[in-house]
Each structure stands twice: as structure tokens, then as C-alpha cells.
Amino acid sequence: MSRPTADEKERKVLLAGKRLVITGVLTDDSFAWHTARVAQEQGAEIVLTGFGRGLRLTGRVAARLPNPPDVLELDINDADHMEALVADLDARWGGVDGALHAIAYAPDDALGGNFLTTPAESAATAFTVSAFSYKTLAVGLLPLMRKAGGGSLVTLDFDNSHAWPKYDWMGVAKSALQSVNRYLARDLGRSNVRANAISSGPLGTVAAKSIPGFSLFEDAWAARSPLGWDVHDPEPVARMACVLMSDWAPMTSGEIIHVDGGFHAIAVSGDEQA
């Protein structure tokens, strides 16, 4: 049996031929931007989405990717936007193989230690944008994934087995996101569509730093992660997202995969144990 040539090895990239939708790109330090970069390096064709004032920012950082992709407008809470996105993708590709959901938002009064005084409207906004939107994206893209013979959805999570300082209703929304992920796995499996979440360690993005008390997360991970953790390096998380959107995870669905340096497995740090 002959060994593959260098050219054949070069062609066997992880996402060759995949057509992916990447949401949530605003800056080039974000998890979503790095996922887009790794996906292109691994052979995928991608489009980015953005909306409102952020649309221009998304276009600007799209130009810094290896192959600057098109940016399509999508306010995930606007049904007309979702319909227009699907129509564009159908005409462009005729199908979609995967999508990254990196959409989250909570009003200021739903964060920062305001848990007991947060009004219902603000908690509902956090849920709708950060959790329900995952279902909205999945249902919108489902016909295109069926045309492709199946697909993979990936969302960005944060471990919510504990209550975190100042994270408040965003933490509740992330817990809801985990549940949405399981129910999507249940209902989309018959269409050969997988749904998985990545529970990442904290990343020092612009969005994350806007969360009150972010430095508390950074300090906790530095002390407790057995593999260490660099809040300025989204690459490990981006790589896992690309694995999940590839053909290398065909029987993985409904999972919450930790990419956090092992933090979730450790009760206390070595110094605390001493």
C-alpha cells in the first residue's frame, strides 16, 4: 500500500468542502473570529454575520481573515433577517454544513451583583438573546442542513455548575443554553444534525471584559487549571469548534465539551490544598 504524497496530505484538511456560517464576530480577538480563521485554514468556505452598528466592525475584521469572506446582516431576533439570510445562503451554496452560534447579551442591570433586583424584562432579554437565539438559528438553517445531508451546530457556553460572582442572569441564560443544546440534539438528530456546546475558560475579549468582575474569573483559572489557561489565546477553543463542525465527530451530539485547561475537574488549586 503506497503512502500518501505530500500533495495528498495537504488536501486532507479537516473542513475541506464545508460551508459554514459564523456568527458573533466583532473583533479579531474573539473566539468567533479565530474559529473563522481556523475554519478557513482547514478548507472551509464561510460567511460571517453581523447587524446594526456592529456590521461595519464585522466587515472590518473580516478583511483580516486569510480569505476575506462576505458579511451578511443578521439580527437574530428579526424574523425577516433570518429569512433573508437563508435565501442568500440557498442561492449561494444550496446547503449549509455547519454554524457557530456565538451570540450573547445581558443588560447592565442583569449583571454585576444585581441578581436580586434585576427586573423580569432584563432577565428575559438575557434569555432570548443568549439562549433562545440558538434555537432560532438552528430552525432557520435546518432546511439548508437537510439539503446538505446533515450538519453541525456549535455554541459557546460557560460552565454553570456553580454560581459565579457578578455573572448573575447571564449565568442563568447560559444554563438555559445548555438545556437548549440538549433539546436541539434530540429534535435535530433525525435530520442528521448535531448540536454541541463548548464550555470555554474565560477569554479576554472586549465583550468579556465588559462583564463586571471579569478579573475574578481570570485569577481563578490561573490558580486552578492543571494545564494552565491563557485568557488571550482563543485558539484551543476555536480548534475544538472546528473539530465539532467536521466529519471527525459524527456521533457526538448534545454534549458540553470543556475547553478550559481542566479547570472544571479540579475542586481547589494546589496552593489551596496545601
Q: Given this model, what pLDDT does residue 10 score?
A: 47
Q: Given this model, what pLDDT does residue 211 score?
A: 63
Q: Given this model, what pLDDT does residue 142 score?
A: 98
Q: Given this model, what pLDDT does residue 4 score?
A: 52
CATH of domain 14-273: 3.40.50.720
Q: Given this model, what pLDDT does residue 204 score?
A: 73
Q: Given this model, what pLDDT does residue 206 score?
A: 60
pLDDT, averaged per 10 consecutive residues of the chain (274 residues), comes to 49 90 94 97 98 94 97 97 98 98 96 96 98 98 98 93 90 97 98 97 69 71 89 94 98 97 83 52
Q: Given this model, what pLDDT does residue 185 score?
A: 98
Residue spans of the domains in the chain: they are 14-273
Q: Given this model, what pLDDT does residue 5 score?
A: 54
SS3 letters across the chain? CCCCCHHHHHHCCCCCCCEEEECCCCCCCCHHHHHHHHHHHCCCEEEEEECCCHHHHHHHHHCCCCCCCCEEECCCCCHHHHHHHHHHHHHHCCCCCEEEECCCCCCHHHCCCCCCCCCHHHHHHHHHHHHHHHHHHHHHHHHHHHHCCCEEEEEEECCCCCCCCCCHHHHHHHHHHHHHHHHHHHHHHHHCEEEEEEEECCCCCHHHHCCCCHHHHHHHHHHHCCCCCCCCCCHHHHHHHHHHCCCCCCCCCCCEEEECCCHHHCCCCHHHHC
